[in-house]
């Protein structure tokens, strides 16, 4: 899947939080492109500039990750850790030149909403229809393999090594 792209411009003269982006906890297919302005003039990042994403999560835990600089802007591939907590994540981009001089951007916010599905507690219930359907397809495939083996004159037993006729190693067979 393609990443969902957010594009923001931060004015390096403005210290007020300028932008709020809305995301969902656990998402990992999001990218933030950050362009900069020096007042009303575009501030183009040169190849000798490096960028870091700094963030403070609602719990106070911090993020300090490398951003990619290309074509005069910087981008950040949002990590699961960045969106691990619901609430407001305060962010700032720190720009460093070759002499290690620092320029910080104004803050921007990620408003992280809790995912409706807790990925850590998936249970096999009728509410997870995609999981139920996938398990049904696997069961059908196993039955088809067992039938094909029987038609070829093989008996399939619960365990054993790979045997002639390319029966999977999770089943033993004999002729």
pLDDT tens per residue, range 40-57: 899 999 999 999 999 999
What 3 state SS string does 104-143 have?
Answer: ECCCEEEEEECCCCCHHHCCCCCCCHHHHHHHHHHHHHHH
Higher pLDDT pick, 171 / 143 = 143
**Which of 23-27, 69-73, 123-127, 129-133 has the largest mean confidence?**
69-73
**Which of 75-84, 128-137, 147-156 has the largest mean confidence?**
75-84
pLDDT tens profile 34-44: 999 998 899 99
Indicate the average pLDDT of the chain.
82
pLDDT tens profile 8-35: 999 999 877 779 999 999 888 999 999 9
CB proximity list for 9: less than 8 A, separation 6 or greater? 34, 35, 36, 37
* Residue closest to 107 by CA, chosen among 16, 12, 8: 16
Q: Are the CB atoms for 30 and 4 separated by under 8 Å?
A: yes
pLDDT tens profile 58-98: 999 999 999 999 999 999 999 989 998 999 999 999 999 99
Can you give the pLDDT at residue 123?
42
102: pLDDT strictly greater than 80: yes
Q: What is the mean pLDDT of residues 109-136?
A: 63
């Amino acid at each position: 899947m393609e990443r969902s792209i957010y594009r923001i411009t931060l004015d390096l003269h403005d210290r007020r939080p300028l932008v709020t982006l809305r995301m969902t906890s656990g998402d990992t297919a999001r990218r933030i492109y950050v362009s900069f302005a020096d007042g009303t003039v575009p501030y183009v990042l040169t190849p000798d500039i490096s960028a870091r994403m700094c963030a403070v999560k609602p719990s106070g835990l911090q993020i300090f990750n490398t951003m990619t600089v290309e074509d005069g802007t910087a981008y950040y591939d949002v990590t699961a850790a960045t969106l691990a907590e619901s609430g407001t994540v305060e962010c700032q981009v720190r720009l460093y030149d070759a002499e290690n001089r620092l320029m910080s951007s104004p803050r921007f916010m990620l408003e992280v909403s809790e995912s409706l599905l807790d990925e850590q507690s998936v249970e096999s219930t009728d509410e997870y229809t995609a999981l139920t359907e996938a398990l049904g397809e696997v069961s059908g495939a196993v039955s088809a393999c067992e039938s094909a083996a029987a038609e070829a004159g093989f008996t399939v037993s619960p365990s054993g090594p790979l045997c002639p006729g390319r029966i999977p190693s999770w089943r033993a067979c004999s002729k």
